[in-house]
Structure 1
Amino acid sequence: MAFGLCWGVITGTCTSIYVAMAADPQTYRVEIRPTGNKDIDATLSDVSSLVSLKKTKAVGAFALAGRVKGDYDRLQTAMDSFGYYNAKINIKLGAGKTLISNDDSKKKNKTEADIHQVTQLANAMDGSNPDLPNFIANIPDKTEAVIVVDIDKGDQYHLGKIELVENKPSTQPVKDPTSPNAKPKIVSEPVTLTADQQKAFNLKPGQVAVSADVVAAKGRLLTSLREDGHALAKISDPVAYLRPDTKTLDIVYQVNPGPIVDLGNIDFRGLKKVNEDFVRKRLLLRDGQLYQPSKIESARQDLASLGVFSSIDATAATKLDVNGKLPLVLTFKESKRRSVSFEAGYSTDLGGRLGVRWSHRNLFGNAEKLNVAALATGLGGTAQRGLGYDIYADFTKPDFRRRDQDFNARIEAVKQRLYSYDQTALLVKGGLNRKINKRWRASVYLGAIQERIIQQHIKNDYTMINVPLAVRYDSTDLDSPMMSPTHGMKGSVSVTPTTSFGDGTIFFAALEGSASTYLDLAKIGLTDPGDSVFAFRGTVGSIQGASRMNLPPDQRMYAGGTSTVRGFRFQGVGPQFPGTKYAVGGKAMDAGTVEFRQKITESIGAQAFVDAGQVSKTSMPFQGDLRVGVGAGGKYYTPLGPIRLDVAVPMNRPSRGDKFEVYISLGETF
């Protein structure tokens, strides 16, 4: 509404000043009429402030008019992004609870009131009219404003001529070089791209003139130029020229590739407790190598994998040094060296485990790690007969004797009271873990075990020396093993020759192989990436050498539990002592899993699975009673990895087996 003031008592003149006042909050609804393209319609709805702000705080006439007028630019930009550069945006405002389009008025059986609504809309206020606030303010109280967005797409433009030019001083001599203002003439010369740069640029005449593609091409080309050593390359924002007669868009990029340069001096900043010599030897960059952002990033991530830095920034200089090289600065922020953490886990078969761990991430200044932990185990559980403990100290020295080779040593004291046997043991091992390449790792250890085993009331002491050898492969490309893989494969093969000194000296070798792979249904176009994944796992093992009953009970093979057949308790699959639920163990085992993982929201997921496995009395796998378990569960995604809750039931449990098992874990099972 508006009111007038009369001014001019002395002069006798009267000037009316109208001040528009915001009316009561104006409710409204929006109809963006279909353009015939669902993607365009969705984008228009996303960018429209009329739509996005509709459910926010109610607004008056001025604010609503501002939303209407602001939507012209937003909607036009959206149409430009799809190549419709001469689209006509038409926004009309009317009033009423129902809205009938002009096309609807042509249909039969329309009432007189319907025709009136059509007429009312035809005579409504255009959204670009400067008097729009007053029009909205005069809408009757408690009457809903009707906003109709109608867009004529027009013709879709395609890319025409695409030029990449570099501004350079002309080689032509200056007419009067003695003049104080004498400067070479600047000329534009075409820039020639290499095959790789052209492939990265990936913009060709004739394709639809989508603005996002034009902008993205600039970024891809700049990345490619820098990857080829053009560290100081610059590309200006593309300039577009509309050609209405041909419905094309000509594009010009100003490109300054600059010289191809090498890395210069690499300066370290922020190191305090971590030795610079160690970091420099570890660094994958050297003075004089070709400047490549991907190599710099790989080196940064490699240093970050040491676990002693909370952040690492790599900053290249903005100009070359006196030798024509580009200096680089690595700025480190060191993590806290010491930490205390608590560990907890639970499953109905193994019960709960609860403990504390103390860690030092940089013991001697070269990223050496020491973990000391004490855990109580066997807190309940269908496969446990009482409380136990697990106490260990684990030391790792990275880059031992050579890069990507870690030395690891561990001493551990274990006590567990399983239904299969009671064990009290001291374990010591030390060895090397080498990264062969991005996918492959290998390890070799020398270990010793001193233990006492009680099985079926028979007590035996064992002293064992073993040499575990293992090769592992991983192409899942995960930053953390706790995360959910969606592609690739993981696999391992191990051989553990062992000599046991007990009642008599025996020699045996345990061979085991496992593999898992993942199928993302997005690969066949059924879902979005990572939403629906099939996971497959297979494990097979065999012990060669000593007879089954001569083997120490803890060295025999078992199945059941999270790593083999869920639904059956730990060591619940395989031969049992007559009339008991105590597992004997075998000389071979095999197990397989099919699991379907579905992401429901960004933080919630679910899974269903089928496990099957068996244990053989002989060293030949794929023999014995095949046991099958099925289950399902849910998960909550956290930055550390998913927290899973699974319930599994055995399909063909033995008479003394459990009816179900529950598992709670951090991270995927495989």
Structure 2
Amino acid sequence: MRIGVEAVWLAALAGTAFLPGVAYAQVSDPKPGQGAPVALPNPDPVQIAPQDETIVPDAEFEAALPKLSDDINAPLEPIKDFGKPAVTQPATPATVADQIEGFPPPAAEDPALAEPLTPLAQFKVEPVKIEGLDDEKVASIRYTTAVEGLDKVGLESRFRELSALEDGDGKAANATMVAARAREDERLAIRLMQSLGYYDGTAISTLEQSPKNSGNVRATITATPGNLYRLGQVRIVGDPTVPVGLLDRELNLNPGDPIQAERVQGAEANVSLRLPQQGYPFIKLGERDILLDEETQLGDYTLPVDLGPRASFGAIVTEGRRPVFDVDHLELLRRYKPGQIYDTRAVDDLREALIATSLFSTVAVEPVRTGQPGPEGTEVVNLLVRQNAGRPRTLAGEVGYSTGQGFRAEGSWTHRNFFPPEGALIGSAVLGTQEQGVSATFRRSNAGQRDRTFQAQAAVNHSDYAAFESYTGTLAVRWSRDSTPIWQKRWTYFYGAELVGSNEDQFNFNKGARDRGTWLIAALPGFVGYDVSDNLLNPTRGFRIKANASPETSVRGRARPYARLMLEGTVYYPASSSIVVAGRARIGSIPGIARNDLPPSRRYYAGGGGSVRGFGYQELGPRSPDGRPVGGRSLNEFAIEARYRFGNYGIVPFIDAGQVYEGLYPTGKNMRFGAGIGGRLYTNFGPLRVDVATPIARKPGESKVALYISIGQAF
């Protein structure tokens, strides 16, 4: 046992140096083969190393400690000087470094640290460019979206329109993003089901790789609609109406109807719309309450309604910083009589009539309570018109071009209220390749009657066409009812009188040469139109019928009475959401006079952008021996086009046909056809039109290609 211990010690002490101050003993009498004697430390007596003189005695250490308060709740002492070494000289970096061994002097402060930070708006952030990495090839995953259960209630298509997953186009940065979109779609599915009355509906989303280990994800939204909730009791809280049951009839919600959001909101909107049309301008709907019963799947509906007084029309009052009309003219524009039951449609009509004058910067019409009793137990309600004048002057211009007619530019200056009320003064000028002229017009809108316009005009004009050249002076008056882009009317008309003096050239068949003549023409033109199209400048559905009749007398040597008659119809049919098929037919006749006795400017001609495209202006019909058109007493024209629109642009292929005849009736013989294609740029003031066409079976001398540029559709 002793030998083993000695062996351990030998192993532990081999090669170890002797420590000073430690007594060692020597193991003697080694046995043969065990080597030299080994020195071992002597445990007795124990010697302790001398004490370090820098160690503070306990008594001195205790005396140096700060005195602690006996109050454990006393506040702590400030720590601002905690840990600072005592410095017997002024605290400068040098003195501190001298007195505290091992602490380097602090470095001087960098001046850049004291400068203000760069404003965030000026901070330029550029993406890190990693060489060899294409931004378009950043790691992403692709996914597909599946929807289950919503097709049973007809909501799948609506869901896909609003889906966050569908909006992501099947791409996402990672699966977490796909999961977030799926959770959003869960909430969407629930909202959609509730909008149709499925208030117990649930939706859950699942994500799985499809196929497995492919990296592609399939997101599935599974919806369970549950039971359909229906209306139970339907109750309206409000005063009784006149007639009785008016609220119930206009709300039209009945027990057993599904509780559908659109149906309920539409019913309430109908009440807000219809009651002011039947005498209740101040009606207010409260907040609906629907109490659902999960056991019966019924919901009791309650709607509070504040009817306000039943009203009848009173007077018109007005206010404004810069009023345009006085009360007398405002009363001329109204379509109701004082004392009638209030109808908000009559108020809207008055507001639209004021807007159509284009004389206001702001205008508003609203009912005002008077507290005065009216007929049939109503309260008299005045209409307050708030009006402020706008700019009365307008500069307008129009530029066009067509093959055979050349360029044509028309400009006008208008003061819409030069002679109040609504007395406009208009100056206009035409400058074109084949036409030049100036005119002055006085126009009184709402002249003594709502929507009736009186107009007087004086004009001089020079025209130089292939058929004739003329210098014309015109005096004309007209009364009319016209449509405007703001106020499109179903029935329109005009009637008036014209006195025209014209010097024109024509081919004299008796002489076999061209000569000039002067005609004095008196006319009583009239027009009536019926328009059920949906838009004045760009119709997409409906039809229009126009009829013109102008009894006239031309005097050149002797008076020759005749009549110019024209009938035109157009139709518009929406073949799809983006294609409108439009058609036009026009026939005309001039009875009572021979063609050669007619002034050339009063004859019928065909060809051009507003007639038969593909041919030059006035190019169709009979010709004189010198090859120039001579016009005729009758014509027929037909056109069909397909208007395809995409965004603000459109393409329009078309076919036109027409002919002019010397006789009284259009026979339909020798019809000429033109075909082409057009482009459209749709603007807020109407489409800009560019049409290119060519004659079919072109004859020598006719244009190969005809180009037309203008504003508005061809018809």
| TMscore range, shorter length | 0.7 to 0.9
Equivalent residue, structure 1, for 2:349: 298
Q: Secondary structure at the match of 2:644?
A: strand
* Gap change, CA 1:293 and 1:147, over 3 Å in 2: farther
| 1:91 corresponds to 2:137 | no
Equivalent residue, structure 2, for 1:593: 639
Q: Secondary structure at the match of 1:274?
A: coil
Equivalent residue, structure 2, for 1:400: 447
Equivalent residue, structure 1, for 2:563: 509
- Counterparts of 1:643 and 1:272, CA distance in 2: 37
Moved more, 367-376 or 500-509: 500-509
| 1:389 corresponds to 2:436 | yes
Q: Is the 8 A contact 2:146 2:218 kept in 1?
A: no
- Counterparts of 1:616 and 1:388, CA distance in 2: 25
* Gap change, CA 1:229 and 1:426, over 3 Å in 2: same
Amino acid at match of 2:635: M
| 1:332 corresponds to 2:377 | no
* Gap change, CA 1:534 and 1:233, over 3 Å in 2: same
TM-score (norm 2): 0.71
State which of 537, 541, 554 in structure 2 corresponds to 1:487. 541
* Gap change, CA 1:273 and 1:592, over 3 Å in 2: same
* Gap change, CA 1:251 and 1:565, over 3 Å in 2: same
* Gap change, CA 1:410 and 1:196, over 3 Å in 2: farther
Offset, 1:567:
1.1
Q: Is the 8 A contact 1:89 1:149 kept in 2?
A: no
Deviations 1:526-576 (A, max 9, x none): x33xx3322221111111112111111111111112332111111111111
Equivalent residue, structure 2, for 1:648: 693
* Gap change, CA 1:292 and 1:422, over 3 Å in 2: same
Equivalent residue, structure 1, for 2:305: 255
* Gap change, CA 1:550 and 1:337, over 3 Å in 2: same
Q: For 1:148-159, list aligned pairs within 5 A.
A: 148-159=219-230
State which of 228, 231, 234 in structure 1 corresponds to 2:278. 228
Q: Is the 8 A contact 1:374 1:391 kept in 2?
A: yes
Tell me which of the two structures has the higher relative contact order, counting C-alpha pairs closer than 8 angstroms and 6 or more residues apart: 1
Q: Is the 8 A contact 2:534 2:540 kept in 1?
A: no
Equivalent residue, structure 2, for 1:537: 584
Amino acid at match of 1:91: S
Whose Rg is larger?
2
Amino acid at match of 1:406: T
- Counterparts of 1:81 and 1:45, CA distance in 2: 16
Q: Is the 8 A contact 1:452 1:462 kept in 2?
A: yes
Moved more, 289-298 or 38-47: 38-47
- Counterparts of 1:579 and 1:487, CA distance in 2: 45
Q: Secondary structure at the match of 2:615?
A: coil
- Counterparts of 2:149 and 2:191, CA distance in 1: 18
- Counterparts of 2:395 and 2:551, CA distance in 1: 36
State which of 307, 312, 324 in structure 1 corresponds to 2:358. 307
- Counterparts of 1:238 and 1:26, CA distance in 2: 51
- Counterparts of 1:439 and 1:271, CA distance in 2: 35
Equivalent residue, structure 1, for 2:148: 35
Moved more, 485-494 or 538-547: 485-494
Moved more, 623-632 or 270-279: 270-279
Amino acid at match of 1:497: P
Aligned length: 562
- Counterparts of 1:29 and 1:271, CA distance in 2: 63
Offset, 1:352:
1.0
TM-score (norm 1): 0.76
Equivalent residue, structure 2, for 1:476: 533
Equivalent residue, structure 1, for 2:325: 275
Amino acid at match of 1:282: L
Deviations 1:616-670 (A, max 9, x none): 1111122542111122212121111111211122113332211221112211222
Amino acid at match of 2:313: L
Q: Secondary structure at the match of 1:628?
A: strand
* Gap change, CA 1:88 and 1:665, over 3 Å in 2: same
Equivalent residue, structure 2, for 1:18: none
Q: Is the 8 A contact 2:527 2:548 kept in 1?
A: yes
State which of 405, 421, 424 in structure 2 corresponds to 1:350. 405
Q: Secondary structure at the match of 1:237?
A: coil
Offset, 1:70:
5.4
Q: For 1:356-505, list aligned pairs within 5 A.
A: 356-378=411-433, 387-434=434-481, 438-456=489-507, 457-478=514-535, 481-482=536-537, 484-505=538-559
* Gap change, CA 1:438 and 1:225, over 3 Å in 2: same
Amino acid at match of 2:276: R
Q: For 1:113-262, list aligned pairs within 5 A.
A: 113=213, 148-166=219-237, 200-262=250-312
- Counterparts of 1:651 and 1:264, CA distance in 2: 66
Amino acid at match of 1:234: K
* Gap change, CA 1:376 and 1:156, over 3 Å in 2: farther
Give unpaired runs (5+ residues) of structure 2.
Answer: 1-75, 77-127, 129-137, 374-378, 508-513
Amino acid at match of 2:623: Q
Offset, 1:248:
4.1
Identical columns (%)? 25
Amino acid at match of 2:192: A
Q: Is the 8 A contact 2:332 2:449 kept in 1?
A: no
* Gap change, CA 1:58 and 1:609, over 3 Å in 2: same
Equivalent residue, structure 2, for 1:609: 654
| 1:518 corresponds to 2:632 | no
Offset, 1:253:
2.2
Offset, 1:598:
2.2
- Counterparts of 2:632 and 2:244, CA distance in 1: 63
Q: Is the 8 A contact 2:142 2:170 kept in 1?
A: no
Offset, 1:65:
8.3
Q: Secondary structure at the match of 2:371?
A: coil
Moved more, 650-659 or 432-441: 432-441
* Gap change, CA 1:280 and 1:509, over 3 Å in 2: same
Q: Secondary structure at the match of 1:362?
A: strand
- Counterparts of 1:212 and 1:368, CA distance in 2: 48
Deviations 1:317-375 (A, max 9, x none): 4x663543334322223331112223211112311112432111111121122221112
Equivalent residue, structure 1, for 2:603: 556
Q: Secondary structure at the match of 2:609?
A: coil
Offset, 1:54:
8.0
Q: Is the 8 A contact 1:47 1:78 kept in 2?
A: no
Q: Secondary structure at the match of 1:544?
A: coil
Equivalent residue, structure 2, for 1:21: none
Offset, 1:270:
2.6
Q: Is the 8 A contact 1:593 1:610 kept in 2?
A: yes
- Counterparts of 2:362 and 2:616, CA distance in 1: 43
Offset, 1:57:
12
